[in-house]
Amino acid sequence: MLRYGLPLLVFGVILYFLFGGLSRDPRLVPSPLVGKPAPAFDLPQLRTPETRSSQADLVGTPTLVNVWASWCVACRDEHEVLLRLARARRVRVLGLNYKDERDNALDWLSRLGDPYESIIVDADGRAAIDWGVYGVPESFLVDAKGIIRYKHVGPLTWALVEDELFPLLKKSPGRP
């Protein structure tokens, strides 16, 4: 019985995990940072490199931190959503420009529009590692106390903004 039962049991466990993994949404990547303060950073701003920003700049009003790059095709897909979100003025939008050339990023924004209140530059990608970024685009909702409340991997859609971000903003202290 053990000779046939053990392999069958192992096969069943493998199938359980395989089908369990296939049924999950790959965009729902758990983040250990949700519910914790935003990671420390001290980075130059894109528009004025002599000016630096830190995590202290995230305190005071809810902020959507959007990780993007001019070379990112999916970032172009979500850009219209970010422009619309900025026009709605329901959350401050901060960009984290990831491993990009400054001139390329500025050109991209001048051609497509600039939804960002400010943009910090992560030229070497070290800040993105601290934020747990897997790739671009990714977005983090940070509440007015500087606590990460939500993480989204991949391009934002307007449906996601309405269904997930706006309800979280209603619960967020210090919302505009």
Q: In the sheet where 118-122 sits, what is the strand order?
A: 118-122, 92-98, 63-68, 138-142, 148-153
Nearest-angstrom CA–CA distance, 47 and 33: 28
Nearest-angstrom CA–CA distance, 106 and 46: 8
Domains defined along the chain, listed by start = 28-171 (3.40.30.10)
**Cβ atoms 45, 120 nearer than 8 A:** yes
Residuewise pLDDT in 10s, the chain (176 residues): 667 666 666 666 676 666 665 555 454 555 678 999 999 999 999 999 999 999 999 999 999 999 999 999 999 999 999 999 999 999 999 999 999 999 999 999 999 999 999 999 999 999 999 999 989 999 999 999 999 999 999 999 999 999 999 999 888 665 44
Q: Helices H, strands E: what count in the chain?
A: 6, 7
User: Cis peptide leading into 26, omega within 30 of 0?
Assistant: no
How distant is the alpha carbon of residue 42 from its chain centre?
18
